[in-house]
Amino acid sequence: MRRAALLCAAALALSGCGLRPLYGGGSAGPVQSMLAAVQVAPIQGQSGWLVSNALRDRLDAGDTAPRYRLEVQLDDQIAGLGVRSDDSVARERRTLRARYQLVDLSNGTVVLDATAGSDAGIDVVGSEYATIAAERSALERLSGIVADQIVARVARYAQGGQGAPAPAAAAPAPAGAQ
C-alpha cells in the first residue's frame, strides 16, 4: 500500500515539473519549423565542408524560406600526445571546436552566440596510410558530433527563447578564428 502511495506521489510530482518534449508537435511544431528555416552559411576547409553537410542533413530545410543564417567558425587541430622511446608520436588528439552564431535575417541581429566542440584520440601506427585514414575518420565523427551539439542548442533556443536575444556565450572564440 505504501509503495502505491509513493508511486502516485512521484507521478504527481513529475506531471507538475514542466518537462516538455523538445520536438513536440512533430514537423509542424515550433522547434522543427524554426530548424527548417535555418540556412547554413559556407564554412571554410575540409572540416567546414563536413560540418556544413552534417548541419544541412540535420536541419532539413527543404522548401522553407530561410529566416535565420547559421554562421560557423571552426578550429581543427591535431596534437601529438604519447611519445615512444625513439621520440616518435604514438598517439594524437584531434580537436574540433566551433563558434557559431544564429543571425535573424529580418534585422541582422545575432540571436544566439555559442560554442561547441569535441575531441578524439588517434593511435599512430607504423603505416602512414592507416594513420591518415584514422585522422580523417576521426574528423568525420567529430563533424557529426559538433553538428549535433549545434542543432540541439538551436532547438533549445527555438523552444524557449525565440524572439528575445540570447546572451553571448562566455567562452572565447577558437584559437586562430577571426
Residues with pLDDT less than 70, the chain: 1, 5-30, 61-62, 161-178
pTM: 0.74
Question: Which pLDDT score is estimated for 86?
Answer: 86
Task: Identify which of 121, 124, 126 has the alpha carbon closest to the alpha carbon of residue 141.
Answer: 121
* pLDDT given for residue 85 in this prediction: 85
Structural domain span for residue 135: 21-160
Residues 61 and 39: beta-carbon distance below 8 Å: yes
**Pairwise CA distance, residues 36 & 72, whole Å:** 17
| Tally of structural domains, the chain | 1
The CATH number of the domain where 93 resides is what? 3.30.160.150
pLDDT of the residue at 170? 41
Residue 28 resides in a domain: yes
Give the pLDDT score at 14. Answer: 59
Q: At 107, which amino acid appears? A: N
67 by Cβ neighbours in 10 Å (0-12 / 13-18 / 19+) ranks as middle
pLDDT tens for 55-87 read: 999 997 667 788 999 999 999 999 988 888 888
